[in-house]
Structures are given as C-alpha cells and as structure tokens.
Amino acid sequence: MSPDQLDDAELVARFETLAIAPAAFGHREHVRLAYAMLRGADFGEAALRFRCALKRFAGAAGAAAKYHETLTWAYLALVAQRMAEDPAVTTSHELIARYPDLVDHRGGVMARYYDVAAITASPLARAVFVLPQAVTMAKHGTAVDDKRRTIERVQTGVRMEKRMLLVLKALAGAHDLTFGDLLEGIVLHAFEGKSPFGGESLAKIAALREVYGLDLTAADSHLLVEAKQGRRGRVRPA
C-alpha cells in the first residue's frame, strides 16, 4: 500500500515504525506527516517528534546526511500556520488539496521566504536553522513597497455564493493576501481585460473548486438565484 492510500494515523504509525519504503516517501508525504503530527498537538512537542522521527527514518535509509534542519522547521511552521488559519481542514489530503503550494517545493510557498535552491545546498542551513535572509524578503516585499499606492478603503457588505466565497478565501490564504486585497486585484485586472491568475493560481483554483464542490462556470454569471429560507431556517429553492 502506497503512503497516499494511508490515512493520517496510519501514515504516522508506519513512518515511526520504519514501515514505509524510503523511495515512496517524498516531499508530499513530508507535508502530510507534518500535518498528521501537528493536528491536535502542542506545536513544540509535535515538531520535536517529527524531527526525531524524520532523522531516524533518514538514518535507517542510509541517508542521514540528507536531513535538512532549516527546511524541516520552516515547513513545520508553514503547515502549522495554514492549519491555524483554516481550522476547517481535517485531513492532510484536504490540506494539500486546498494549499497545493505546500507541496510545490521549488516554486511554492517556501520560495516566498527562501531562495530554495541556495538554502537546500547550504551546509549551514542543513546543520542548523537559518532565518530567511533580508535579500530574499526584499525580493517579495521591498521592490513592491516602492510602487505602493495610498488609497481609502470602505467597509461593504456583499452577499455571494457560499462555495465561491470559500474558494476565494482559501485562495487568498494560499497567497498570504487579505480577502479584500485579492478582490481588488481581480477587479483591477478585469477592468483592463487581463486575466488575474497565472497557471499556478489556476491550478490552485481548480483544486479548491473540487474541494468545495463549486460547479458554477462563467456561463452561470447573472443567472444565479438565491435559495429562500424555510420556516425553520431550512433552505428551499426559489
């Protein structure tokens, strides 16, 4: 049975007893294991458990030198953050479906904080935890700061389709944006006839649509009718 067929409890049990083939345990499985160990546990205790288990697994596979301290702790922190931001996630499979950037090692969320190729190759970062360098943070922040525009925002109440809202909120979280910031970006691109999403974001949206069962398409625009509430709060078709 492949690790992908295991539920979270089975994954942890088999990993800690060295019952998973090293060749079958890749980055995706690392992220799943981190979620499984962190769920319902104290972060510090779960993180140490994960670290010890991973080092033992690597050692048993004859690959002790492959253990990477910085990437291990960085991913644990990122997974824990996503879990705290989206408590509705209840399994590691669901976490990955909602946040595929966690399993895109080279171009995903980790690339916002580190030069992934450089940190992976760094002997220092492999041996001890290394904080993100200022130049890396500037790559994702300072250059943008120079182009920022001061605006006035107002509060507004807008009703929208429930599944669509869930997809948009999850997408905003995946990009470390506020919900309002995401909507502003979509609108500004639309006003100029431009697509607001690249290939990576479209892939995330497709995964999130599947998670939330969003089957609406552009053809449904302006044809949506809100369901009416019944006497006891039950929703009935209009």
**What is the 3-state secondary structure of 21-57?**
CHHHCCHHHHHHHHHHHHCCCCHHHHHHHHHHHHHHH
Q: What is the 8-class DSSP label of residue 228?
A: E
Phi, psi of 229 (to 5 degrees): -85, 135
pLDDT digits 0-9 by tens, 104-113:
888 888 988 8
pLDDT digits 0-9 by tens, 72-114:
999 999 999 999 989 999 999 999 999 998 998 888 889 888 8
Q: Distance (Å, rounded) from C-alpha 197 to C-alpha 174?
A: 13
CA end-to-end span of the chain: 48
Give Cβ neighbours of residue 47 (< 8 Å, ≥ 6 apart): 38, 73, 76
Per-residue pLDDT in tens (0 to 9) along the chain, 238 residues: 788 899 999 999 999 999 999 999 999 999 999 999 999 999 999 999 999 999 999 999 999 999 999 999 999 999 999 999 899 999 999 999 999 989 988 888 898 888 888 899 999 999 999 998 754 444 555 444 555 778 888 888 888 999 999 999 888 888 777 888 889 989 998 998 888 888 778 888 999 999 999 999 999 999 999 887 665 555 555 5
Q: Which two tokens stand for residue 30?
A: 């690392």
